[in-house]
Chain A
């Protein structure tokens, strides 16, 4: 099993900027762990701290049970894939892949053999003598992965490596990365601002905002039970109704909103009297009249067909947007735009989170 990575109370201060605030997380050996957040949230800083390019202002970094906080990037059992890939343009592909071995004094014949093996692994056999500029975006991507894997790292650090690829290729590479991770058993720490990427590939996801860790959870948990309002808004589409909590009973909170009393599961720290917001996913919102639970009157605005579902954009009485996902096979029942509709959702499908 590959090494685990333990971050204990990491803080990173650049001058007056607190890039990372008291970040603690444990990445299990062999896990595909993503750090998700908007740009500038400090996620890349966390990755560079794990790689050893920068030293934390305070806190410890432990890899495989060994404290590496003071070690440089070349002493750690990590290998990084850069956002720009940073392949060496003046070397042929095989020398790129074998660069880490060249550094370790491996003989040329062995280097070449290992490079060819890795080219097999990334499904680019015979590409060893090409130059980097002759490769397509996806091929460069795979060469960068092979180069990082050539040194047999315990932990692979990936800094948004798919961001330069087009959508189709990105989706393909997602699957490939995931499969490669399972096959090699290497611990992956993957940085991304694309929530669908994080949800699709990861065993667990850490969500960051403004230097602070928001939540660490499995993708399903993250989607179903966001711990903070930031996570609720950032991961997936959601509807938000702000208000004040009237009372909490049996794990359900009643929130007084401008659309009347709405009920949902009470999140952490939700008690009567606090300012809070109720979050409900578009797919939990239904159009059926007479359904039990929360009801909101709205005007249908427009219907956006997305393939598997159609997204109904509606407006509440005071103009706030509401989204409802309508399954393809029920499209015939969809309302005409401009018409008044009743939206409803079950309290169990909604979550109430305190502000902050």
Chain B
């Protein structure tokens, strides 16, 4: 989708387990302590954060939290719909061998 700049997957413990960015990857992803941010998501199913220069869309999944970094003008309804369609495929990890490989720690 146009406007999507990258995505990350975090374990529930706050460890980044997967990341992919269209342009330059932000520095210090691995060394940053994400635990407090991830802990602050406890109990949330879905979080849409609007910042001055971009948006973060965060979805709870069966394996952790999916975080999508995007610009201000991404059609977010479409983004949510795509997530609704695609995220259940993370659940039956046995059937998705290729994807499962990506999410291994």
| Bind each other | no
Q: List chain B positions with a Cβ less than 8 A from chain A.
A: none
